[in-house]
Amino acid sequence: RALDSNQLLGEVSTNELFKPHWGDLSNGYGYGWRISELYGHQMISHGGSIGGGGYTSLMIKFPENDYTLIFLTNNADNNALYEVSGVMSAILLGENYIFPGELEVININPDTLRKYTGTYVDEEGSGIVLYQQNDKLYVQHRDGATYELLPVSDIQFHYKEHENTIFRFTIDINEN
């Protein structure tokens, strides 16, 4: 409330804090704040962790609606934090939402798993490696963190113990 009423910083400084200095209002970054849109509403957010991920936090502001959400955990599971904040934001903004449910793990042919092994790079240049070991599929992130991927279909997997993180493969029918 002190930020919103210019008690902590003056109006000019507060405006600079939440103004994009990189990007724009739909996808930018201010002074320590991510500036984006969610469901057509301006969203300003900042998250972080302390102690190697032992404590995680996220603050989300919807300035047009005068809503502020603050999430604190003593758990390193960022996926759960972002899943809960996503559902809470949807509820707050009157949007449809889906509560995460348990996924049924299936057995999958080891030859199918082998097709998915390799190095993958996303749009931002971050790389991950998928490898097969003992008829199971694993993902190793650039930071060295490794997770088992559990199949819920021939093309969809989720992180073991992180059910809200989904991998979905798109098969190119022109490739063998």
Which tokens go with 110? 């080891």
Tokens 């102690």 map to which residue?
51
Q: In the prediction, which pLDDT does 13 show?
A: 93
What's the pLDDT at 44?
A: 96
Backbone angles phi, psi at 151, to 5 degrees: -75, 135
pLDDT means per 10 residues, the chain with 176 residues, are: 90 92 89 93 90 79 94 77 86 81 82 90 77 92 83 86 72 62
The pTM (predicted TM-score) of the whole model is: 0.59
What are the distances in angstroms from CA 13 to CA 19, 34, 52, 127? 10, 17, 32, 37
Q: Is 24 left (phi over 0), alpha (psi -120 to 50) or beta?
A: beta
Q: Which residue has the tokens 């819920």?
A: 152
Structure tokens at 1: 């409330």
Instruction: Report pLDDT for 141.
Output: 79
* Rounded Cα gap, residues 82 and 84, in angstroms: 5
- Segment (H or E) for 15: helix 11-17
pLDDT at residue number 62: 96
Give me the pLDDT at residue 97, please. 74
Angle at the Cα of 99 from the Cα atoms of 98 and 104, rounded to 5 degrees:
105
Burial class of residue 66 in the structure, from the number of CB atoms within 10 Å of its CB (0-12 exposed, 13-18 middle, 19+ buried): exposed
CB neighbourhood size of 37 (10 A) = 12
Contact assessment for residue 130 and residue 139, using Cβ atoms and an 8 Å cutoff? yes
Rounded to an integer, what distance in angstroms lies between the CA atom of residue 4 and that of residue 167? 39
- What is d(CA 138, CA 132) in angstroms, rounded to the nearest whole number? 6
- Dump pLDDT digits (tens) for 88-136: 999 999 988 766 666 688 999 999 899 999 998 866 677 789 999 999 9
